[in-house]
Amino acid sequence: MSKNFGSNNFGSKKKAKPKSEEESNQKLPQWMEKRFPETRQMTLDLKRIFVFLTGTSGALLIAIGLLFLMGVNFQSTLIYALSFWLLALIIISIFFTYRNLSGLTLRAVQASPCFAGEKAVFELEVSCPKQQKKSAICIGWKNQDVATVNLHDNHTIHIKLSHSTKHRGRFKPEKLSIFTSYPLGLIKGWSYALLNMNSIVYPAPLLQESEDKGDSLDEEADQGMEIPRGTTDFSGIRDYQAGDSPRHIHWGAYAKTGKVQTKTFVDYASHDLWLDWDALSISGTEIKLSHLCAKVLQYHQEQQVYGLNIPGRTIQPASGEAHRNTCLTALALFGEGDHSDAQTQVSTDGIGS
Give the pLDDT confidence score for residue 230 in this predicted structure. Answer: 52
User: Once rounded to an integer, what is the mean pLDDT over residues 7-33?
Assistant: 52
Q: Position 112: which residue type?
A: S
- Predicted confidence band of residue 294 (pLDDT cuts 50, 70, 90): very high
For 56, left (φ over 0), alpha (ψ -120 to 50), or beta?
alpha
pLDDT winner (highest mean) among 10-24, 129-143, 223-237, 338-352: 129-143
Residue 4 — φ and ψ, nearest 5°? Answer: -60, -40
Angle, vertex CA 267, rays to CA 261 and CA 272, nearest 5: 160
pLDDT, tens digit, 9 for 90 and up, residues 178-188 = 999 999 999 99
- Predicted confidence band of residue 273 (pLDDT cuts 50, 70, 90): confident
Work out the percent of the chain whose per-residue pLDDT is above 70.
77
pLDDT, tens digit, 9 for 90 and up, residues 117-164 = 999 999 999 999 999 999 999 999 988 989 999 999 889 999 999 999
Instruction: Check whether 15 has a pLDDT greater than 60.
Output: no
- Looking at per-residue pLDDT, the higher value among 246 and 338 belongs to 246
- Looking at per-residue pLDDT, the higher value among 345 and 244 belongs to 244
User: Once rounded to an integer, what is the mean pLDDT over residues 254-275?
Assistant: 72
Give the pLDDT confidence score for residue 233 in this predicted structure. Answer: 61
- Predicted confidence band of residue 236 (pLDDT cuts 50, 70, 90): confident
Give the pLDDT confidence score for residue 62 in this predicted structure. Answer: 95
User: Helix count (H) and strand count (E) of the chain?
Assistant: 7, 18
Residue 211 — φ and ψ, nearest 5°? Answer: -105, 55
Give the pLDDT confidence score for residue 257 in this predicted structure. Answer: 80
- Predicted confidence band of residue 28 (pLDDT cuts 50, 70, 90): low
User: Once rounded to an integer, what is the mean pLDDT over residues 33-56?
Assistant: 88
pLDDT winner (highest mean) among 19-33, 62-76, 229-243: 62-76
- Predicted confidence band of residue 282 (pLDDT cuts 50, 70, 90): confident
Whole-number Å distance between alpha carbons of 126 and 160: 11
What secondary structure does DSSP assign to 66-115, as a single string?
HHHHHHHHHT-HHHHHHHHHHHHHHHHHHHHHHHHHTT-EEEEEEEE-EE
- Predicted confidence band of residue 259 (pLDDT cuts 50, 70, 90): confident
- Looking at per-residue pLDDT, the higher value among 352 and 122 belongs to 122
Give the pLDDT confidence score for residue 178 in this predicted structure. Answer: 95
- Looking at per-residue pLDDT, the higher value among 251 and 332 belongs to 332
Give the pLDDT confidence score for residue 350 in this predicted structure. Answer: 38
Q: Which of 110, 105, 128, 129 is closest to 120 using CA atoms?
A: 110
Give the pLDDT confidence score for residue 343 in this predicted structure. Answer: 42
What secondary structure does DSSP assign to 230-268, as a single string?
-SSEEEEEEE--TT--GGGB-HHHHHHHS--EEEEEEEE
Whole-number Å distance between alpha carbons of 288 and 236: 45
3-class DSSP assignment, residue 135: strand
